[in-house]
Amino acid sequence: MSSAAVSLARQIMRRCDELGRVSEEKSCLTRTFASSAMKRANKLVGSWMRQAGMSVQEDAAFNLIGRLPSAKRSAKTVMIGSHLDTVRNAGKYDGPLGVLLGIAVVEKLRGKKLPFHLEVVGFSDEEGVKYQTTYLGSRAMCGLLAANDLGRIREKGVARAQRSTREFLAYLEAHIEQGPVLEHVRTPVGVVSDIAGQTRIRAAFIGRAGHAGTTPMNLRRDALCGAAEMVLAAEKTGVIATVGQCAVEGGASNVIPGRASFTLDVRDVKDAKRRAACGKLRKIASAVAKRRGLALEWEIVQETPTAPMDAGLTSLLRRAAGPKARSMPSGAGHDAAVMSKVCPVAMLFVRCKGGISHHPDESVKESDVAAALDVLAGAVLELSKRHG
Ligand code: GLV
Ligand code: MN
Ligand code: MN
């Protein structure tokens, strides 16, 4: 491990702590798309980008872009990125670690002449917490927002973030693993093979609200009982499926739930398997509705197919990571899935404690961050030799 990487990793850890305090909630870390906390985070990270010698811009989709131009003006652009939005009550590394590693790569390579422009991007919406549709920032940049996304979001002008993707030479993303495999095999970093596809569904059962004390159990049309059946059905689909939100609308402890809304998040690296599971869940929901006398609302909010990483760029990352680095699929979504539609992408995973993520206890080791920095910087240098 290089000594530069060790001191830069220490700086990354301190910055993750500082950024982890930029939140829209007092008691925990929550930073959603276009929130004032995100704008503050962009300001702070932007100042670190400037310190590293980059010019900085926030685009119309709230993506933060730091740029280190090549002397060759007609050069293409290599991007290193991840996201600066978070889930609710988040850990401080999911997303920010990749952005801060990108800035550290720029610092580590200071003074080197690169045959491409180097950009570090902090995307604004990988989690999809605000509208339940993920990747608004990276899709806006790549011109991949659909009309119904633009209709759904309140922030106007986001589509102006679109860039000419022909200028993109490669996209690299580092991210905490968010799972326990690297810890299990005692390896600091892993190389991603594919990012699993995902479907996000918003659904609701509508029954009849009524008196919780006077209505016999067999004469109820309880919407939450229907939703509860779907939680258990999701558990048995044979793919990765989660009901992450469930709400009784207008409920009270002495009122039979009249409307229960819930979300479904369904994932698999095999797209056909994921689609079949979603079809099966839809059928089960219809049968539950029929049997319980409920109405059903069902909306597929977003579908993202499995994204394979680019073979050439991945092998370059694997060489930089060394023979011990594990090749592994990602069950979590990443902006790299979107970027893979417009340019070659590769991803590096960093071991995290206990595989814990989407939780304030997220934790990474400084020495693993230093190892990841050496790998990323090595891959960028190798890329510069190939394109020099
Ligand atoms: C992002 O973290 C996702 O995979 O939901
Ligand atoms: Mn993430
Ligand atoms: Mn996440």
Supply 21's token pair.
Answer: 């305090």
Ligand 1 pocket member 194 (CB < 6 A): no
Distance CA 209, CA 250 (A): 10
The pLDDT tens digits for 346-372 are 999 999 999 999 999 999 999 999 999
- Of the candidate ranges 3-7, 351-355, 357-361, 374-378, the one whose mean pLDDT is the lowest: 3-7
Distance CA 179, CA 165 (A): 32
Nearest ligand, CA 90: 3
Helix axes 3-19, 366-387, angle to 10 degrees: 110
Mean pLDDT calculated for residue range 166-189: 97
Q: What percent of the chain has pLDDT over 70?
A: 100
DSSP for 293-343 reads T-EEEEEEEEEE--EEPPHHHHHHHHHHH-TTPEEEEESS--HHHHHTTTS
DSSP for 344-376 reads -EEEEEE--GGG--SSTT----HHHHHHHHHHH
The dihedral through the CA atoms of 354, 357, 361, 364 has a sign that is positive
Mean pLDDT calculated for residue range 52-67: 98
Residue 16 Cα, ligand 2 centroid: separation in angstroms?
Answer: 14
Residue 53 Cα, ligand 1 centroid: separation in angstroms?
Answer: 31
Task: Please return the burial class of 333, using the count of CB atoms within 10 Å of its CB with bins 0-12, 13-18 and 19+.
Answer: buried
pLDDT at 373 over 90: yes
Residue indicated by tokens 């479904």: 264
Name 139's Cβ contacts closer than 8 Å, sequence gap at least 6.
145, 149, 338
pLDDT at 2 over 90: no
The pLDDT tens digits for 321-354 are 998 889 999 999 999 999 999 999 999 999 999 9
Distance CA 88, CA 8 (A): 28
> Mean pLDDT across the chain, nearest whole number?
96
Question: Pick from 303, 348, 252: which is nearest to 139 by CA?
Answer: 303
Ligand 1 pocket member 127 (CB < 6 A): yes
Distance CA 69, CA 65 (A): 12
Strand partners, 356: none
H-run or E-run covering 176: strand 168-176
Mean pLDDT calculated for residue range 6-17: 97
Ligand 1 pocket member 85 (CB < 6 A): no
Q: Closest ligand 1 atom, CA of 126?
A: 1
Mean pLDDT calculated for residue range 368-386: 97
Supply 357's token pair.
Answer: 């993520």
Question: Pick from 350, 279, 384, 308: which is nearest to 96 by CA?
Answer: 350
Question: Pick from 366, 375, 371: which is nearest to 93 by CA?
Answer: 366
pLDDT at 133 over 90: no
Residue of 134, 274, 347 best suited for mutating to test ligand 1, as the one with most atoms within 8 Å of CB: 134
> How much is the pLDDT for 298?
98
Name 315's Cβ contacts closer than 8 Å, sequence gap at least 6.
none
Strand partners, 243: none
Residue 304 Cα, ligand 3 centroid: separation in angstroms?
Answer: 15
The pLDDT tens digits for 83-116 are 999 999 999 999 999 999 999 999 999 999 999 9
> How much is the pLDDT for 194?
97
> How much is the pLDDT for 250?
85
pLDDT at 1 over 90: no
Strand partners, 276: none
Ligand 1 pocket member 177 (CB < 6 A): no
Distance CA 51, CA 54 (A): 7
> How much is the pLDDT for 324?
84
In this prediction, residue 190 has a pLDDT band, given cuts at 50, 70 and 90, of very high
Helix axes 3-19, 96-108, angle to 10 degrees: 140
DSSP for 70-112 reads -SSTT--EEEEEEE----TT--SSTTHHHHHHHHHHHHHTTT-
